[in-house]
Amino acid sequence: MAKIKTLADLKKMREDLQSKVDLREKADSPESYVQIKVGMATSGIASGAKEVMDFLIEALEKRNIEAVVSQTGDMGYCFAEPTIEVQKPGEEPIVFGYVDIKKADEIIEKYIKRGELVDGIIPQNYQVIDDKDNKKA
Amino acid sequence: MSHIKVKIKEKDLNTIKQICKSFNNEPKELINVLHKTQEHFGYLPAEIQEVVAQELNVPVAKVYGVVTFYSFFTMLPKGKHPVSICTGTACYVRGADNVLQEFKRQLGIEVGETTEDGEFSLSCLRCVGACGLAPVVLVGDKTYGRVAPDGVKAIIDEYKK
Amino acid sequence: MHLLVCGGTGCRASASDSIVESLKQELENKGLSDEVQVIMTGCFGFCEKGPIVKVLPDNTFYVEVKHEDAVEIVDEHVIKGRQVKRLLYQDPEKKQSISDSKHMDFYKKQIRIALRNCGFIDPENVDEYIGRDGYMALGKCINEMTPQDVIKEIKDSGLRGRGGGGFPTGLKWEIASKNNADQKYVVCNADEGDPGAFMDRSILEGDPHAVLEAMAICGYATNASKGLIYIRAEYPLAIKRLKIAIDQAREYGLLGKNIFGSDFEFDVELRYGAGAFVCGEETALIHSMEGLRGEPTIKPPYPAEKGYLGKPTNVNNVETFANIPVIINKGANWFNKIGTEKSKGTKVFALAGKINNVGLIEVPMGTTLREVIFEIGGGIKDGKKFKAVQTGGPSGGCLTEKHLDTPIDFDNLIAAGSMMGSGGMIVMDEDDCMVSVAKFYLDFTVEESCGKCSPCRIGNKRLYELLDQITQGKATMDDLQRLRNMCEVIKDTSLCGLGQTSPNPILSTLDNFWDEYVAHIKDHKCPAGQCKDLMKYVVIEENCVGCTACVRVCPVGAISGEKKQPHYIDPSNCIKCGACIERCKFDAIIVK
Amino acid sequence: MEKVKLTIDNKQIEVEKGTTIYKAAKQLGIDIPVLCYMNLEDLGIENKPGGCRICVVEVEGRKNLAPSCSTEVWDGMVVNTHSMRVINARRTVMEFILSDHPKDCLTCAKSGNCELQDMAVKLGIREVPGQEYAEMSEYKIDFSPSLIRDLDKCIMCRRCEMMCNEFQTVGALSAFNRGFEAAVGPAFEMDIEYSPCTYCGQCVAVCPTGALTEKDHTRDVINALADPTKTVVVQTAPAVRAALGEEFGLEAGTRVTGEMVAALRRLGFDYVFDTDFAADLTIMEEGTELLDRLTKHLNGDKEVKLPILTSCCPAWVSFFEHNFPEMMDVPSSARSPQQMFGSIAKTYFADKIEVKREDLVVVSIMPCLAKKYEAQRDEFKVDGNPDVDFSISTRELAHLIKEANLDLKTLPKEEFDTPLGESTGAGVIFGATGGVIEAATRTAYELHTGKKLEDIDFKQLRGLEGIRKATVDFEGTPINIGIAHGLGNARKLLEDIKAGKSEFHAIEIMSCPGGCIGGGGQPLHHSDSGILKARMKAIYEEDADKPIRKSHDNPYIIKLYEEFLGKPMSEKAHHLLHTCYFDKSRKVEIS
């Protein structure tokens, strides 16, 4: 192990290491990042959700978008698999259906980057327990 | 009266000397030395304290004073299966005393004693920090949580030959 | 994907390490070892429901996990992305399962400063700490601040010692910095001895580097080059992690000579306590580190003038230190906005007793007891009625219903007749006899008194004996007067903090539960039904069918009676073991 | 020195900064009661653990009461030493202490001389509430040849522990256990006999209660006196006459030599002799040994050991036997005066009066408790019969005198019997630190130089400083002399010798503060070092009053050598007046 000789050394090292705990850091305060949940129940996986998820992670990183991509269980929209839920900071989550890689790319470019809505939004008719309280500072 | 003889096995003597040396034979390291020594021998009988006193050049009365001050140190060998009952507050309010009484009754010994066959010894300790599992009992390194008096026998039976 | 498994002592006691093993094994079986990391972290704080496994990134919070659950977690959650519902936390009020810990009442009201990394990073990996701004504060101090600047920052933050006394930390550092000597010491007091408190241990187990970094900062501020951590030998895991942390910090050059290329040098050694509560008192602690009996000495001289080996020594406790790097990084002004006017920041409490959510919590100063007990703590266990909460351990007092809306801070707790102490918080319900609770604490003090001064050595023993008389129904009302007088004299005359506070559990219960004392004395009754000597086992003749089951089970032959005739329990022989009640199928024996 | 002003009980006072409340109050004539606190001012011995909490006072602005013994004053401090709060606290604390103390005052060895008893009287304690169910600490009583330990009576003042460890560096005693169980004793609560205890008796000298007392031999003495078949001879050590009067209400420093002799005679002793005679004999032997070694050294003999150390103090002898067994050839081989006396009494004198050894009982009156142990040492017995049968302390003698309905104050002054009662001023000063070496110097000088000493008072050797050094000019040969009292000070000199750094030719060592005048068998000083100084003054006055002041001028000593011993260091002298030492260190053996 190399010695840390200056504060600059430490800072550089921190940059490198941050990604390691990044995942957790963002999970801990996800409000400030784009959150994407990919429905990954058995049916979702069967319909290609895994590929979509891999793509999303890779694409977001390449395009320098700070986001948390996570898997979640059955979203209850089996008819529209694969489904993903996207929540931008301070906004209500939006669920997209029939997401393939192309669609995912579009969601990133239009909705996430520019705020334009794209086709395939599934109107919400459920309450996520998780989102009842997002006020924690 | 001639000089006082302290008898000890050569191997043990060397072990203690080694431990003291690893702390530079400094008197201020007495407690560290006692920790290491007890870790090795399991307890701190008089002859071991005599040797430690000599090695660190501290009066043996002072060593004894320190050993008897700290509850972690013991001059009696523990049983093969040392039973420790947590009597921290969390365990207390969740009934540790009844559990302790039951252990005393089942083993027929008081706190600080060892059963005649040398199998079990009984002690109390303050909070192992497993308050969520209160009342907590330790047998050796194994932790038993949410122990009720009627579960005591089963725990003891686990260790009976 | 990360699987975080709680490696705190509580969870480890429930074999959380075997969960780690099983998870790793299962992931390997499924060929997922590279993609999914299993990490053992420090305490999550929610010990009531341990062992805890947290799945990231989706933040799923599993409780009471067993190693055999590993297969299911991997199969269902990791592979199929389905939460294992039965392992989720059940909100006791709403009867719903909650998957994300953030939304559990237990975590909602908490702000984590001292515990910021606990349950978050791998405490055995310095890189993770660095990734979380670790050692940045030390770097900032050495590169950008003078020792005076550091002290000023700490003073401005309003941080007060978390070990119990509440002495302003910055001021303490300033005094130590002003005493010149060829060698000075920084001591971290990790001899947590309160029964039912485990804050410090959790920090050391979960975030050992934070303490090392803070000690180095303190060393820089006070011009001390040696640090000593006085830690309980009963904390093997914390010791192990500290040792690893010290080695790693040395390897990176964050401890040792020329830290960050400067002239500043600092190193840390461990010293072990050996089970003496009084060693929490700083002069006693110093004597113990010197290899002596841990007896306190009169102050002055204070450790800041004459401490370890006669040299100026600054002693702070673990939680105090854990706050330091954050204060330096985020600034005094950030810190002093949290909390109340005179008590800044947060406080960690070990919540235990008759409460649903036993665990470790960190809340801003000023949070009320009600919020802590009923919101974070989830209320009283088994639907019983709240009776009292004991704060401050053996030095504190019992607070009641009427104090529930008191904002918690150093001064309010003292005004209410208790104290902050190191942060133990034990909740009692209607079944707890307050005289017995007071007796429990005195039993502790009697055992832990060092014996140096007479009021503490003998006085506490006499207090205990008198309480014992009361619980046996043998005391008089005059004795209550005498009890109070003895308490006040012991407080007034004892040498150190132990004796000066040991009567608090009695005084606060006398104040708040006077009627309960009177009931023991005048009516010979224990209202909570806890004092055995005041209980009587009697047979209800109408219910007794004379089956003789109780006669056979009574270990002392106190029960007599003909077959098919109502039996009789001889109160002079009865040892109140309760065996008869357990055996009786007809509810014919009751306790009066 | 910076001064601070403060108010105590409405009285203003200005004292030096750093003064404690207790001392400041004392200057105002306010006597705040203390129990654990002890201060022997001129000796630098102070015990202030702040443990008993009897001396608490109220200080305005302070949350709790302050222990006056260890709280320093500050400017503008306002102190109240007898407010309701203070009085109530002091009484309650006293009740605590008494609740864990046996109430057998009537039969306690310390009765009438007990600081705890006095305190109970002062505070007017009439009952100890709750005593019916109060548990009391219980320990076994430890009987040793010199002292008795009854820890039930220990109040944890820690004075004995301080004396044993800090002043004496003997380390036989330490606090052990914790809390209510705590007490002070040897390792493993063993009998003190098996500890490194030297029986110096300083623990007994400072114990405020009956926890530490001497082994009482007064019954044995009375039995011997009552036995018509026995001839009972008594010897009295020099320090006794300078302190015995205190037990009879006389001012400290009052010499009662003549009255003491009269009392002893009335008690029924057949011969009243003086240990001082044996002290002169010691000088002849020890002084000759010194000169012998010195001459050899000056002649270039590399084998000879220097410095030579005195060996009259039995606690000191035990100390080096326990702690410096490798240096047992350094001290003089001369027996102590007590033992020389016993040896001569049971040979030379017994022959003279034609009494068989076993019918002669030798009793010694000593300021010392170690002498009790010394008298029992095997090497000082002939066929099991000890040279000195019983050694009793100054305090025990006072009891005997009182029991015999005698009032020392009104007795006539009488003279010692001859031949073993004749002594010189040199023998007298054995009782004070520096005295032995001064006596030795007087003789050695004249023997070495062959000249008569003009100024006999070597004032540079006197005083109370722990370690003193002086150089005496032996007509061109400078002799470096070292003096230490207190075994802690002795240890320093010994460490120097061990390290080859010692500059001395001769060293005198006494175990007790001030020498024998501060011995463990003396009337209790109750932490008043003025008493020690007064006794010391009395010793030197007695010396000055003596017609003969050099040991070798003592006519009976000269006669003893002529008639019996031959010359100093003769074979007979070696046999009767010298001894050897034993390794008593703790040894680890492989089993």
Q: What is the pLDDT of residues B16-59, one digit of tens each?
A: 999 999 999 999 999 999 999 999 999 999 999 999 999 999 99
Minimal CA separation from D413 to chain B, in Å: 42
Task: Give me the pLDDT at residue C102, please.
Answer: 66
Closest CB to D589 among B7, B46, B49: B7
Mean pLDDT comparison of C75-79, C104-108, C557-561, D115-119, highest-scoring range: D115-119
Lowest-confidence region among C36-50, C323-337, D61-75: C36-50
Q: Is the pLDDT of residue D553 over 70?
A: yes
Q: Is the pLDDT of residue A136 over 70?
A: no
Q: Which residue of C has its CA nearest to D158?
A: C452
Mean pLDDT computed over B2-15: 85
Closest CB to B125 among C14, C234, C354: C234
The strand pairing partners of D142, in sequence order, are D149
- Sign of torsion, CA D167 D172 D173 D177? positive
- The verdict on a CB contact (< 8 Å) between B31 and C291 is yes
D587 pLDDT band, cuts 50/70/90, is: confident
- The verdict on a CB contact (< 8 Å) between B68 and D178 is yes
* Domains assigned to chain C: 2-103 (3.40.30.10), 126-335 (3.40.50.11540), 346-429 (3.10.20.600), 434-522 (1.20.1440.230), 536-591 (3.30.70.20)
Alpha helices in D1-111, H assignment, sequence order: 21-27, 84-99
The Cα–Cα gap between C337 and D208 comes to 57
The token duo for D585 is 């260190």
CA-based end-to-end distance of chain B: 48
Q: Is the pLDDT of residue C506 over 90?
A: yes
**Phi, psi at C485, each rounded to 5°:** -65, -45
Which positions in chain D touch B68 (Cβ < 8 Å)?
176-178
Peptide bond into A82 cis (omega under 30): yes
Q: Flag whether residue C476 sits within 8 Å of chain A, measured between CB atoms.
A: no
- The verdict on a CB contact (< 8 Å) between D182 and C459 is no
Which positions in chain B touch C437 (Cβ < 8 Å)?
93
Q: What residues of D are annotated to the active site?
A: 286, 289, 312, 332, 371, 374, 379, 516
Mean pLDDT comparison of B7-21, C33-47, C184-198, C416-430, highest-scoring range: B7-21
Structure confidence by residue, pLDDT tens digits, D69-106: 999 999 999 999 999 999 999 999 999 999 999 999 99
Q: Flag whether residue D582 sits within 8 Å of chain B, measured between CB atoms.
A: yes
Task: Give me the pLDDT at residue A96, please.
Answer: 80
Task: Give me the pLDDT at residue C221, please.
Answer: 97
B1 pLDDT band, cuts 50/70/90, is: very low
Q: Is the pLDDT of residue D385 over 90?
A: yes
- The verdict on a CB contact (< 8 Å) between A7 and C251 is no
Mean pLDDT computed over B73-77: 90
Q: Flag whether residue C293 sits within 8 Å of chain D, measured between CB atoms.
A: yes
- The verdict on a CB contact (< 8 Å) between C103 and A45 is no
CA atoms within 13 A on the CB side of A84: 35
DSSP-assigned letters across all residues of D311-350 = ---HHHHHHHHHH-GGGTTSB--BPPHHHHHHHHIIIIIH
Q: Flag whether residue D71 sits within 8 Å of chain C, measured between CB atoms.
A: yes
A134 pLDDT band, cuts 50/70/90, is: very low
Nearest of B105, B107, B102 to residue B121 by alpha carbon: B107
Question: How do C386-391 and C397-400 pair as beta strands?
Answer: antiparallel
Q: Which of C445, C457, C469 should be substituted to probe chain D, the one whose Cβ sees the most D Cβ atoms within 10 Å?
A: C457
A22 pLDDT band, cuts 50/70/90, is: low
Q: Which of C446, C452, C466, C483 should be substituted to probe chain D, the one whose Cβ sees the most D Cβ atoms within 10 Å?
A: C452
A135 pLDDT band, cuts 50/70/90, is: very low
Q: Is the pLDDT of residue A30 over 70?
A: no
Which positions in chain C touch B131 (Cβ < 8 Å)?
10, 47, 196, 198, 350, 352, 358
Q: Which of A5, A12, A15, A21 should be substituted to probe chain C, the one whose Cβ sees the most C Cβ atoms within 10 Å?
A: A21
Q: Is the pLDDT of residue D251 over 60?
A: yes
Q: Which of C297, C298, C458, C471 should be substituted to probe chain D, the one whose Cβ sees the most D Cβ atoms within 10 Å?
A: C458
Q: Is the pLDDT of residue A24 over 90?
A: no
Contacts made by residues B9-15, CB under 8 angstroms, sequence distance 24+: B9/D590, B9/D591, B10/D590, B12/B41, B12/B48, B13/B51, B13/D588, B13/D590, B15/B40
Q: A120 near A107, Cβ under 8 Å?
A: no
Mean predicted lDDT score pLDDT of chain D: 95
A133 pLDDT band, cuts 50/70/90, is: very low
Closest CB to A7 among C80, C139, C258: C139
CATH of domain B81-159: 3.40.30.10
Compute how many other C-beta atoms are within 10 angstroms of the C-beta atom of residue C128: 22
Task: Give me the pLDDT at residue A31, please.
Answer: 58
Q: Flag whether residue C491 sits within 8 Å of chain A, measured between CB atoms.
A: no
> Tokens 């000690």 identify what position?
C215
The DSSP secondary-structure symbol of D216 reads: P
Residues 6+ apart with CB under 8 A from C478: none
Q: Which of C187, C200, C272 should be substituted to probe chain B, the one whose Cβ sees the most B Cβ atoms within 10 Å?
A: C272
Rounded percentage of chain C residues whose pLDDT exceeds 70:
97
Q: Which residue of B has its CA nearest to C192?
A: B127
Task: Give me the pLDDT at residue A132, please.
Answer: 35
Q: Flag whether residue C254 sits within 8 Å of chain D, measured between CB atoms.
A: no
Q: Is the pLDDT of residue A127 over 50?
A: no
- The verdict on a CB contact (< 8 Å) between D130 and C465 is yes
Mean pLDDT computed over D563-569: 94
Residues 6+ apart with CB under 8 A from C510: C480, C483, C484, C487, C517
Q: Where are the beta strands (DSSP E) in D395-496?
A: 467-474, 477-485
Mean pLDDT computed over B128-136: 73
Q: Which residue of D has its CA nearest to C462?
A: D134
Contacts across the C-D interface (CB distance below 8 Å): 109
Q: Is the pLDDT of residue D165 over 60?
A: yes
- The verdict on a CB contact (< 8 Å) between B69 and C450 is yes
- The verdict on a CB contact (< 8 Å) between A27 and C57 is yes
Structure confidence by residue, pLDDT tens digits, C465-477: 999 999 999 999 9
Which positions in chain C touch D159 (Cβ < 8 Å)?
none
Structure confidence by residue, pLDDT tens digits, D193-240: 999 999 999 999 999 999 999 999 999 999 999 999 999 999 999 999
The Cα–Cα gap between A25 and A18 comes to 9
Lowest-confidence region among C23-32, C100-109, D254-263, D494-503: C100-109
Q: Flag whether residue D165 sits within 8 Å of chain B, measured between CB atoms.
A: yes
Which positions in chain D touch C288 (Cβ < 8 Å)?
none
Task: Give me the pLDDT at residue A128, please.
Answer: 32
Q: Is the pLDDT of residue A131 over 50?
A: no
Q: Flag whether residue C257 sits within 8 Å of chain A, measured between CB atoms.
A: no
Q: C441 near C505, Cβ under 8 Å?
A: yes
Q: Is the pLDDT of residue A137 over 60?
A: no
The neighbours of chain A, by the rule of 3 or more Cβ pairs under 8 Å, are C
Q: Flag whether residue D193 sits within 8 Å of chain B, measured between CB atoms.
A: yes
Q: Do chains C and B touch (3 or more CB pairs under 8 A)?
A: yes
pLDDT higher at D557 or A65 = D557
Structure confidence by residue, pLDDT tens digits, C256-287: 999 999 999 999 999 999 989 999 999 999 99
Q: Flag whether residue C440 sits within 8 Å of chain A, measured between CB atoms.
A: no
Closest CB to D96 among C455, C469, C500: C455
Q: Which residue of B has its CA nearest to C434?
A: B93
The DSSP secondary-structure symbol of C86 reads: G
Nearest of C269, C205, C271 to residue C238 by alpha carbon: C205
The Cα–Cα gap between C472 and D86 comes to 33
Closest CB to C58 among A20, A45, A72: A72
Which positions in chain C touch B71 (Cβ < 8 Å)?
274-276, 447
Which positions in chain B touch C424 (Cβ < 8 Å)?
89
Closest CB to C453 among D53, D99, D130: D53
Q: Is the pLDDT of residue D306 over 90?
A: no
Mean pLDDT computed over C307-332: 96
Domain at A32-131, CATH class = alpha beta
Q: Domain coordinates of chain A in residue numbers?
A: 32-131
Task: Give me the pLDDT at residue A125, please.
Answer: 40
Residues 379-398 of C with CB under 8 A from B: 390, 393
Task: Give me the pLDDT at residue C574, please.
Answer: 84
pLDDT higher at C541 or D21 = D21
Q: Is the pLDDT of residue C504 over 80?
A: yes
Question: Alpha-carbon dihedral of residues B51, B56, B60, B64, nearest 10 degrees?
Answer: -90
What is the 3-state secondary structure of D10-25?
A: CEEEEEECCCEHHHHH
Residues 314-343 of C with CB under 8 A from B: none
pLDDT higher at A31 or A112 = A112
